[in-house]
Amino acid sequence: NAGVTQTPKFRVLKTGQSMTLLCAQDMNHEYMYWYRQDPGMGLRLIHYSVGEGTTAKGEVPDGYNVSRLKKQNFLLGLESAAPSQTSVYFCATRGPYEQYFGPGTRLTVT
Amino acid sequence: KNQVEQSPQSLIILEGKNCTLQCNYTVSPFSNLRWYKQDTGRGPVSLTIMTFSENTKSNGRYTATLDADTKQSSLHITASQLSDSASYICVVSYSNSGYALNFGKGTSLLVTP
């Protein structure tokens, strides 16, 4: 039982490049989330999904897109990376009582 | 505007000592309050979760209290260990919300030998 996994763990992009972050869960949870964490700030919600095939915007959605084609996977895409998107990205799922976070992806955009 | 404020921002204590971290919130309506521990380079891990009707909850050496009237919570760590060095995050959930968690900025705790 791996819980919530994220790939890749680290990535460096140049401005304008694109990439996709993958989140996978094996807990059969309906709700999945993408957050970003920046120094001196609390985690902020980018996008979330309440089930397969559904997505919705969170607090800071601009510059990101998401897809939930399969229940166990939640993808976060950056179409044209900007230095302001340098951050640590966390995926999470919601179970009956709490949220479970992945280990994070550290993204640097130069 | 962050509706969850934590204090202190950082704290250094000696191994074996106790400490208390504070969380004040203005989130309304209130559903539940959680404390998470985040080790460096890791995702947050849940320590406690309290609903409106609960005023204390323990998890080993961690004890969380909640005063819903004053909208304050505290996390007390007893007999600290080096492994307690981490960021502790207070998170408040809205009622009637399927997704919204309001995160504090965290208190960075360093336990020294």
- Summarize pLDDT for B36-59 with one digit per residue, the tens: 999 999 999 999 999 888 999 999
Looking at chain B, which residue has its C-alpha nearest residue A39?
B105
pLDDT at B52: 83
Mean predicted lDDT score pLDDT of chain B: 91
Which of chain B's residues have a Cβ under 8 Å away from the Cβ of A104? 41-43
d(C-alpha A25, C-alpha B23), whole Å: 31
Contact status, residue B103 vs residue A42, Cβ threshold 8 Å? yes
Is B101 in contact with A45 (Cβ distance < 8 A)?
yes
pLDDT at B98: 56
Contact status, residue B78 vs residue B85, Cβ threshold 8 Å? no
For chain A, give percent helix, strand, coil, nearest 5. Answer: 5, 55, 45
d(C-alpha B105, C-alpha B87), whole Å: 9
Rounded to the nearest angstrom, the minimum Cα separation between A14 and chain B is 23
Sign of the dihedral defined by the CA atoms of residues A108, B2, B4, B8, in that order: positive
CA gyration radius for chain A?
13
- B29: confidence class by pLDDT, cuts 50, 70, 90: confident
Distance of CA B43 to the CA centre of its chain: 15
Greater confidence, B1 or B110?
Answer: B110
Mean predicted lDDT score pLDDT of chain A: 94
Which of chain A's residues have a Cβ under 8 Å away from the Cβ of B2? 42
Q: Which residues contact B60 (CB under 8 A, 6 or more apart)?
A: none
pLDDT at A69: 95
Query: What are B53-99's pLDDT values in tens digits?
Result: 899 999 999 999 999 899 999 999 999 999 999 999 999 987 655 56
The angle formed by the CA atoms of residues B70, B103 and B66, to the nearest 5 degrees, is: 30
pLDDT at B2: 56
Mutate which: B33, B57, B99, vs A, most A CBs within 10 A: B99
As beta bridge partners, residue B67 has B72
Q: Is A106 exposed, middle or buried (0-12, 13-18, 19+ CB in 10 A)?
A: middle
> Which residue in A30, A47, A46 sits closest to A38, CA to CA?
A46
pLDDT at B8: 97
Which of chain A's residues have a Cβ under 8 Å away from the Cβ of B100? 45
